Amino acid sequence: MSLPDAEARIKEILGTRYVDALEDEVTTSLHDLMTRNRIFGRPLSLDEFLEPAEEQEVGDLGFEGGDKDIVAAVNREIAEKSGEVIEVESNEEEDAKPEVSRAETLALCQRLEGACLQFGNADSTLPLELLKQIRLFRAELRHEELLHSTQTTIDAYFH
């Protein structure tokens, strides 16, 4: 039984006594807080307390799928606030090829190194710094290539 169904069933059984009991409990709690000086300013009326203005102005939130969409949206917001990784739905294929392969990138790095040496100004340190960064990048690419490579057996080589 869902919460709204249970609440409706309780109201059906208890009638107005259910609402009166709730109102009495809230009024008692508000009075208790006022005597302890825990409410500052004008206390809310019972209607304002039970149905705040913020909740009345909700409007259409655009959840066509019902409760499942609402739960998914809340979970997504909680994940965003806690800094978790959020998967973005995409229309692209999952195994899409990268635009540039590792081999092409290594060749491009080699060409850029040659261009730095060929067109670099001897008075400026910029081409040397760029050359240094390109070499570091190329070394990182080679390192990744070695980490993800598989060793073949000699039998596989001759067959």
- What is the reported pLDDT for 137? 92
Is the per-residue pLDDT at 58 higher than 60? no
**Do 154 and 106 fall within a single domain?**
yes
> Does the residue 28 lie in any domain?
yes
Q: pTM, whole model, 2 decimals?
A: 0.35
To the nearest 10°, report the CA torsion of 68, 71, 77, 78.
-140
Higher pLDDT, 31 or 15: 31
**pLDDT tens sequence across 76-98:** 888 887 776 666 665 555 556 66
Per-residue pLDDT reduced to its tens digit, 141-156? 889 888 887 777 777 7
CA distance 62 to 66: 9
Q: Indicate the number of domains in the chain.
A: 3
Residue range(s) defining the domain that contains residue 75: 61-86
Rounded to whole angstroms, the Cα distance separating 73 from 78 reads 9
Q: Does the structure show a pLDDT above 80 at 48?
A: no
What amino acid is encoded at 73 in this protein? A
Q: CA-to-CA distance for 157 and 153, rounded, in angstroms?
A: 7
Token pair listed for 131: 């050359």
